[in-house]
Amino acid sequence: MIYDETASTAAPLLGRLSDNDRERLGESLRLLLDHGSILGLEPAQTDLYHWSYQNRGFLDELAALLDFKLHWDHQDRTVQAVPQGSAFLLRLRFDATLVLLTLWYEFDTAVRDRGETPPVRMTVQQLNDALASKFEPLRKNLPSQTRLREILSVAQRKNLVRFTPDPLPERSLIEVLPTLKRVIPFQDIEEWAKNAERCIAAARDPTVDLSELHDNDEGAE
What is the mean pLDDT for each group of 10 consecutive residues in the chain (221 residues)? Answer: 43 72 94 94 96 95 92 95 70 90 97 94 97 93 94 95 95 96 90 92 68 50 36
Largest CA distance in the chain: 67
Q: What is the pLDDT of residue 8?
A: 47
Q: What is the pLDDT of residue 221?
A: 36
Residue type for 195, please?
A: N
Q: What is the pLDDT of residue 5?
A: 46
37: which DSSP letter? Answer: E
Give the bridge partners for 173, in sequence order. 123, 164
What is the rounded distance in angstroms from the CA atom of residue 139 to the CA atom of residue 214? 19
- Domains annotated for the chain, with CATH where assigned, are 4-83 (no CATH), 94-212 (1.10.10.10)
CA distances, 137 to each of 24, 73, 163, 178, 202 (Å):
49, 38, 27, 29, 11
